[in-house]
Amino acid sequence: MDFNDTPAEAAFRAEARGWLAAHAPAHELTPGLKIPDTEEADRSRAWMRELFDGGWSGLTFPKALGGRGLTGIEAVIFSEEESRYHLPKGPFTSIGTGMALPVIAKHGNDAQRAQFIEPTLKGDLTWCQLFSEPSAGSDLANLRTKAVRAEDGSGDWIVNGQKVWSSWAHLTDWGILVVRTDPAVPKHKGLTFFVVDMKTPGIETRPIRQISGMSEFNETFLTDVRIPDANRIGAIGEGWACCMTVLMGERLGSGAHRSGVEPLIAMAARTPAHDGSTMLDDRAVRLALADALAEEQGERFFQARLRTMVSKGENPGALAGMIKLAYAGRQQKALGLGMELRGLDAIAADPADSATADLQYDYIYSTVMRIAGGADEVLRNQIAERVLGMPGEVRMDKDIPFEQLK
Amino acid sequence: MDFDLSDEQKMLADQARGLLAERTPYDRLRKLIDSGAEWDEQLWRELGEMGFLGANIPQEFGGLGMAELDLGVIAQELGRANAAVPFFSSIVLAADAIRLAGSAAQKAEWLPRLASGEVIACFASAEGPGPLLGQGTQLTDGKLSGAKHPVADAGIAALAVVQVGDGLALVKLDQPGVTRTRLDSFDQLRAHYRIDFADALAEPMPGAGVLATLLDRAAVQAAFEAVGGSEACLAMGRDYTMGRTMFGRPLAGYQAIKHKLADVAVAIELAKSNAYFAGWAAECSADDLPGAAASARLTAIKAFEMAARENLQVHGGIGYTFEANCHFYYRRERMLAVIVGGRGYWADRLLNAQPGAQGQTHSTGKAA
Ligand SMILES: Cc1cc2nc3c(=O)[nH]c(=O)nc-3n(C[C@H](O)[C@H](O)[C@H](O)COP(=O)(O)OP(=O)(O)OC[C@H]3O[C@@H](n4cnc5c(N)ncnc54)[C@H](O)[C@@H]3O)c2cc1C
């Protein structure tokens, strides 16, 4: 075991650090300052472009496909260094790099790779994910949006249905889409995967008001949307395998929204208690903060173990879900504690107190981490089944053609 | 970064696990308890012959000169087997104390014999309910008086490392000034004693200010031991529920059970990850050790707590019987929970290791 950088890794870190110092500050967002989502999108694109021009996009992507062909460890080093800056990153660009590109690279053809990979890495093309539906979330394969061949013999597909919770669908250029092409077979088998230009006639996005007060996700209605067969990714009926590729990327990448325990410790130290002491002197607060910090460290070193596996060519599989399950719960608990130690001020603070504003927002957002990208209960099932080898869930819909399901 | 055990360490673990699985099955533990034995002497001799006991003791003192992590790997397997051996007392605490605080002569006299297992030492610190480090014993002109209790493995030990105030002293137990009285032990596989010292001859160790580091290093090993015990509980609970049919299907298929054990599995991986880092830090990064040891300690106790309790829970009534194997861990877990100081001490140790996070009233880190 060696926790220090190897000489090669140290050199890579120094190079990344040097480049970031020269280029990242100009792109930083002001902490606590809310900007319109169109501006956030533009600034995300600009940062993608900067990364691309500097040779820092698609780090783990094969060179032949326009990436740098580096190892997972180098990608970790870069993201560690990058996370020292408050940069415009998030689903707006990560759906493209973390979901669309892996699926296109793995299941797409050469023409599709040529068309989509480089523009996406450059930030010229942004993506949304059109998977979830009102009756298909954790049970994604239950989706109903359907595609049939056009009757004009063009080979095009005509899509009808409704997607929901489509993050940034109102501002992105293209979508990754999974639909049902064969209702006569069991649900997982009748799915096909597409990419779709969001400007295609028949696509309508309606923003949904979220509990955070923002509207980053949408309902997306698809009415007679015509998609050329050239935009089909993988074979007809292979949609589920494509979805698995996407969801794996989602799990490995989802550490990005982590908010740490250290700022809460600093906040406790700044919050007065009785008799000139601070909240960091409070026994109950200390125990709870220490528990949260110890768990956070455990997540960090567990992540390091998984990244080491990846760099040795092993597949962490369901182990990745363990980290997500751990941090989603820990984060919500720690942020809740953060509000408590701040006292009543946590509810309505001085407008200049951006740390409390962030805390409020993060506490609201911590709910998302427990639902999206594999909900807690779904992850527990996966861990029990795939890591511990316990029996699968009872399924009432197994082997039954989709059209016969109630 | 290469954050994994080395191939050699994995082999060491396999070797230890294989030996322990063969030599100390649960039925043997039951026999030891029934016979009132203080320890598994035969197993201890074998561990000594294999070199496991001297794993991290320097070669010049008869050990293998391996790293803290190597010892951790062994501790994990001892925890998995719930072996009835004085490893924690003699190797993790006493030998390490001599290594950290002993004079050259003291090291030369004791370490080789501790490394081989020929001599056993116990570690005496507590003085009844309260802190791990008692403050009522007096050492004057090489004479020790007071009482330490409980002290694990004192009945089979020839030597005690005794904490006196902020320092440590060596006391041979076979002398007129020392009285040992066996206590009923909650952990039935570790005999505990009260030791009364009446002007007992004691040799102070010259090293000062080592207690906190000693406890850090011991906490790392306790974390490994707890991880091993937790893994045994998880496997036992999983296997039992897989084999038990309930309302027409395996108990293991119910979500209440799956989710419980999944949570245990996550807690174990967090603890293990922290233990790996802390084991590495104990050897390679002294600055990181206090915080890393505290994180390992807090998460490992949490994991073992969950694992030991929920393992018994999923067994139902049979879990409450002596014939089932849950109780060994259910008891050992509580011992590990208190063996190197309470959670308040480790919470302080962790927070105080954070830059800029020293509390005003609790920053001394004393009174483990
Ligand atoms: C902020 C946000 C952004 C999102 N962005 C996108 C996006 O861009 N594109 C997209 O396609 N989707 C997106 N999603 C949707 C997300 O993928 C789903 O919310 C998620 O898959 C859960 O599905 P659901 O909401 O239908 O909840 P459900 O699946 O209905 O889950 C409800 C509850 O049931 C539990 N549950 C589910 N299955 C089981 C089971 N087998 N056993 C026990 N309990 C179970 C869940 O854990 C949860 O607690 C987003 C969601 C959020 C919150």
Of B173, B204, B235, the residue that ends a domain is B204
Q: Could you tell me the strand order of the sheet in which B143-152 lies?
A: B138-140, B143-152, B192-201, B178-183
DSSP A353-380: -HHHHHHHHHHHHHHHHHHTTS-HHHHH
Structural contact between residues A198 and A215, judged by C-beta atoms closer than 8 angstroms: no
The band of B364, judged by pLDDT with boundaries at 50, 70 and 90, is: very low
Looking only at the bridges linking them, the beta strands covering B249-250 and B245-246 are antiparallel
Tell me, yes or no, whether B344 and B229 share the same domain: yes
Q: Please give the number of the atom of ligand 1 that sits closest to the Cα of A210.
A: 1
Report the C-alpha dihedral over residues A116, A80, A372, A176, rounded to 10 degrees. 0
Of A307, A309, A1, A5, nearest to B70 by C-alpha is A1
Q: Are B317 and B243 in contact (CB under 8 A)?
A: no
Residue B246 confidence (pLDDT) above 80: yes
State the residue for tokens 């030369």. B108
Euclidean distance between CA atoms B300 and B340, whole angstroms: 13
- Taking the C-alpha atoms of residue B59 and residue A180, their distance in angstroms, rounded to an integer, is 68
Is A21 within the bounds of a domain? yes
Site from A71, A79, A295, A303 to mutate, B interface, most B CB atoms within 10 angstroms: A295
Tell me the CA distances in angstroms from B52 to A99, A394, B48, B217, B347, one per residue in order.
Answer: 48, 47, 6, 17, 31
> Ligand 1 centre and the CA of A371: distance in Å?
5
B93 and B70, same domain (yes or no): yes
Shared domain check, B106 and B15:
yes
Establish if A111 belongs to a structural domain: no
Spacing of C-alpha B265 from chain mean position? 21
Tell me what pLDDT residue A74 has. 85
CATH number, domain containing residue B27: 1.10.540.10
User: Candidates A378, A383, A390, A393: which one to mutate for ligand 1, based on the most atoms within 8 Å of Cβ?
Assistant: A378
Angle of CA points A102, A105, A107, to nearest 5°: 95
Q: How far does residue B306's CA lie from ligand 1's centre (Å)?
A: 28
A 10 A CB-CB count for A89 gives 22
Cα–Cα distance, B180 to B145 (Å, whole number)? 14
- B326 and B306 in a common domain: yes
B132 with B98, same domain: the answer is: no
The CATH number assigned to the domain holding B263 equals: 1.20.140.10
Give yes or no: residues B337 and B251 share one domain: yes
For residue B163, the surrounding DSSP H or E stretch is strand B159-164
CATH number at residue B134: 2.40.110.10
- Would you state the torsion angle of the CA atoms of residues A80, A83, A85, A91, taken in this order, to the nearest 10 degrees? 150
pTM: 0.94
A129, A131, A132, A136 alpha-carbon torsion, rounded to 10°? -170
Q: What is the pLDDT of residue B233?
A: 98
Q: φ, ψ for residue A30 (rounded to 5)? A: -80, 125
- Which residue has its alpha carbon closest to ligand 1 atom 21? A137
Cis geometry, peptide bond prior to residue A183 (ω within 30 degrees of 0): no
Nearest alpha carbon, ligand 1 atom 16? A372
Q: Return the best residue to mutate from A128, A371, A379, A382 for the ligand 1 pocket (most ligand atoms within 8 A of CB).
A: A371
pLDDT in the model for residue A91: 80
Band (pLDDT 50/70/90 cuts) for residue B362 is very low
Say yes or no: B158 and B78 in one domain: no
| CA B5 distance to own-chain centroid | 20
Give the closest residue (by CA) to ligand 1 atom 32.
A138
3-state helix, strand, coil in chain B (%, to 5): 55, 15, 30
User: Which residue's CA is the nearest one to ligand 1's atom 41?
Assistant: A378
Is residue B110 domain-resident?
yes
Give the single-character DSSP code of B246: E
Whether B267 contacts B306, CB under 8 Å: yes
**Distance from CA of residue B283 to its chain's centroid?**
18
Q: Which of A50, A81, A250, A296 is flagged as catalytic?
A: A250
Backbone φ, ψ for residue A115 (5° rounding): -70, -40
Residue type, B364: T
Could you give the CA distance from residue B326 to residue B320 in angstroms, rounded to a whole number? 8
Q: Is A50 a catalytic residue?
A: no
Residues with C-beta less than 6 Å from any ligand 1 atom: A 128-129, 131-132, 137-138, 165-167, 217, 368, 371-372, 375-378, 381, 393; B 255
Say if residue A389 is exposed, middle or buried (CB neighbours under 10 Å; 0-12, 13-18, 19+): exposed
Encode pLDDT of B136-194 as tens digits.
999 999 999 999 999 999 999 999 999 999 999 999 999 999 999 999 999 999 999 99
Nearest-Cα residue of chain A relative to residue B235: A388
CA-based nearest residue in chain A for residue B261: A384
If one counts the domains in chain A, the total is 3
Cα–Cα distance measured from residue A75 to residue A59, given in angstroms and rounded to the nearest whole number: 6
- Dihedral angle, C-alpha A29, A32, A35, A40, nearest 10 °: 40
The structure tokens listed for A67 are: 């990436």
CATH code, domain carrying A318: 1.20.140.10
Q: Which 116-155 residues of chain B touch chain A by CB within 8 A?
A: none
Residue B32, domain extent: 7-116
Please give the Cα distance from A40 to A55 (Å, whole number): 23
Contact B275, B220 (CB under 8 A): yes
| Tens of each residue's pLDDT in chain A, 406 residues | 877 788 998 999 999 999 999 999 999 998 767 788 889 889 999 999 999 999 999 898 888 888 898 877 788 789 889 989 999 987 888 899 989 999 999 999 999 999 999 999 999 999 999 999 999 999 999 999 999 999 999 999 999 999 999 999 999 999 999 999 999 999 999 999 999 999 999 999 999 999 988 888 999 999 999 999 999 999 999 999 999 998 876 655 544 445 689 999 999 999 999 989 999 999 999 999 999 999 999 999 998 898 888 777 788 888 989 999 999 999 999 999 999 999 999 999 999 998 999 899 999 999 999 999 899 999 999 999 999 999 999 999 989 999 999 7
Domain co-membership, A361 together with A297: yes
Q: What residues contact residue A392 under an 8 Å CB cut-off, 6+ apart?
A: A385, B253
pLDDT at B20: 98
Q: Check whether B361 has a pLDDT greater than 50.
A: no
Residue B306 pLDDT > 50? yes
Three-class SS of A172-233:
CCEEEEEEECCCCCECCCCEEEEEEECCCCCEEEEECCCCCCCCCEEEEEEEEEEECHHHEE
Phi-psi region of A165 (alpha: psi -120 to 50; beta: other; left: phi over 0): left
Shared-domain flag, residues B198 and B286: no
Domain annotation covers residue A118? no
Select from A246, A272, A302 the last residue of a domain.
Answer: A246
A283 and A347 fall within a common domain: yes
pLDDT at A37: 82
| C-alpha pair distances (Å), A58 with each of A92, A99, A386, B142 | 16, 12, 30, 69
* B270 has pLDDT over 50: yes
Clarify whether residues B245 and B344 are in a common domain.
yes
Q: Is residue B85 a part of any domain in this protein?
A: yes
Which residue is listed with tokens 């889409």?
A: A177
Are A297 and B277 in contact (CB < 8 Å)?
Answer: yes
Q: What separation in Å is there between the alpha carbon of B291 and the centre of ligand 1?
A: 37
Q: How far is B295 from chain A (nearest CA, A)?
A: 4
Find out whether A302 and B269 touch, Cβ atoms under 8 Å. Answer: yes
Q: pLDDT by residue (tens digit) across B338-352?
A: 999 999 999 999 999
A206 with A150, same domain: the answer is: yes
- B184 Cβ under 8 Å from any chain A Cβ: no
Q: For residue A191, what are the domain limits?
A: 128-246
Residues B130 and B86 in one domain: no
- The count of structural domains within chain B is 3
Which amino acid belongs to residue B179? Answer: T
pLDDT category at B363 given cuts 50, 70, 90 is very low
pLDDT at B126 over 90: yes
Claim to verify: residue A348 and residue A269 sit in the same structural domain: yes
B46 located within any domain: yes
Residue at B360 is within a domain:
no
Same domain, B112 and B139: no
Q: What is the mean pLDDT of residues B204-222?
A: 97
Main-chain phi, psi angles of A6, to 5 degrees? -70, 165
C-alpha span between B213 and A353 (Å, rounded) = 40
Per residue in A220-265, pLDDT tens?
A: 999 999 999 999 999 999 999 999 998 876 655 544 445 689 999 9
A105 domain-assigned? no
Of B176, B204, B232, the domain-final residue = B204
Ligand 1 centre to CA of A165 (Å) is 9
The answer as to whether A349 is a domain residue is yes
Picking from B95, B116, B137, the residue at the C-terminal end of a domain is: B116
Mean pLDDT to the nearest integer, B192-200: 98
Using a CB-CB distance cutoff of 8 angstroms, which residues of chain A are in contact with residue B258? Answer: 380-381, 384-385, 388, 390
CB contact residues (below 8 A), chain A span 102-131, against chain B: none
Q: Are A208 and A215 in contact (CB under 8 A)?
A: yes
Closest-approach residue (CA) in chain A for B294: A294
Closest alpha carbon to A390 in B266, B247, B251: B251
Say which residues have a Cβ less than 8 Å from residue B289's Cβ, sequence separation at least 6: B213, B216, B217, B278, B281, B282
Domain annotation covers residue A103: no
A275 and A215 in one domain? no
Helices in A3-155 by DSSP H: which ranges?
A: 7-23, 37-54, 72-82, 91-95, 101-107, 110-122
Nearest chain A residue to B347 by CA: give it. A290
DSSP A141: G
pLDDT, one tens digit per residue, over B65-118 is 999 999 999 999 999 999 999 999 999 999 999 999 999 999 999 999 999 999
Contact A390 B253 (CB under 8 A): yes
ipTM for the complex shown: 0.94
d(C-alpha B238, C-alpha A389), whole Å: 9
Contacts of A348 (CB under 8 A, 6+ apart): none
B219 vs A273: CA distance, rounded Å: 32
Residue B30: inside a domain, yes or no?
Answer: yes
d(CA A116, CA A195): 10
Best CA proximity match to A320, nearest among A242, A254, A246: A254
Q: Do B287 and B226 fall into the same domain?
A: yes
Nearest C-alpha in A relative to B356: A266
Q: Does B245 touch chain A (CB under 8 A)?
A: no
Does residue B256 belong to any structural domain of this protein?
A: yes
Is there a contact between B184 and B202 (Cβ–Cβ < 8 Å)? no
Total Cβ atoms within 10 A of residue A300: 19
- A283 in a domain, yes or no? yes
A381 shares its domain with A273 = yes
Check whether residue A296 and residue A228 sit in a common domain.
Answer: no
Question: Could you tell me if B92 and B336 are in contact, meaning their C-beta atoms sit under 8 angstroms apart?
Answer: no
Rounded distance from Cα B273 to ligand 1 centre (Å): 29
pLDDT recorded at residue A255: 46
Supply the Cα-derived Rg of chain A in whole angstroms. Answer: 23
- Mean pLDDT for the stretch of residues B272-295: 96
What pLDDT sits at residue A256?
44
Kindly report the CATH number assigned to the domain that includes residue A220.
2.40.110.10
Would you call B262 an interface residue with chain A, using a CB distance cutoff of 8 Å?
yes
Place of tokens 């768990």: A295
> How far from each other are the two terminal CA atoms of chain B, in whole angstroms?
34
Residues A137 and A236 in one domain: yes
DSSP B155: T
Indicate if A234 and A271 belong to the same structural domain.
no
CA of residue A378 to ligand 1 center, whole Å: 9
